[in-house]
Chains A and B, each alone.
Chain A
């Protein structure tokens, strides 16, 4: 099956620093990737849709200048949390779908971000 690799799996950083999370589709090309945020005991909240070669589409209420998304190739999307604050601590998950519109989303294993 399709594999999506997300790195790092966990990161601890200090307030004010920036953190980059990578999402790679290992065995297929993904023109679109999705970034989610999951709070404890809650569902996944879609943050943005990452489009290869163009700007990401952000969901309402998500700060695009804080959560920078770059989709530079058909197999890589990055999410950079800029000037992180403790309230940004969360579990971030990326996903990708093959170009066949009937295909399910394939998820990375997530990144646990802790901002101290």
Chain B
């Protein structure tokens, strides 16, 4: 079975400071990894994904994520946070080598960026 853990319910950061939202995963095969963002009363927006290749993946709105196979992590990062980045962030995983096409989501981390 595949699973995702987001250990922080909320992350607080001041505008202009770097941010990190943590994610660890567990799959039996090779992972597809995704980050999504959700604004209030809206669906999820795709930020970035990792399938193969460079461990540092760049995505939308200046976000990036680093895949670390040994630590089974895929932390989301941004060098300089904006107040408008405040939202709910979900990490998700899909087993690349399995036949199932379902995504498994983490419980979400609320990012609060303040002035």
Contact = CB atoms under 8 A, between A and B. Distances in A.
- Bound pair (A, B): yes
B51 interface: yes
Contacts of A105: 34, 44, 46, 103
B69 interface: no
A107 B102 contact: no
B68 to A, nearest CB: 20
Size range of the chain A interface in the assembly? 20 to 34
Contact of A43 (B49, B51, B107): B107
A109 B43 contact: yes
B34 A110 contact: no
A104 B49 contact: yes
A62 interface: no
A104 B34 contact: yes
A44 interface: yes
Interface of A: 1, 4, 6, 9, 32, 34, 42-44, 46, 49, 91, 93, 95, 97, 101-102, 104-110, 112
Interface of B: 32, 34, 36, 41-46, 49, 51, 90, 101-103, 105-108
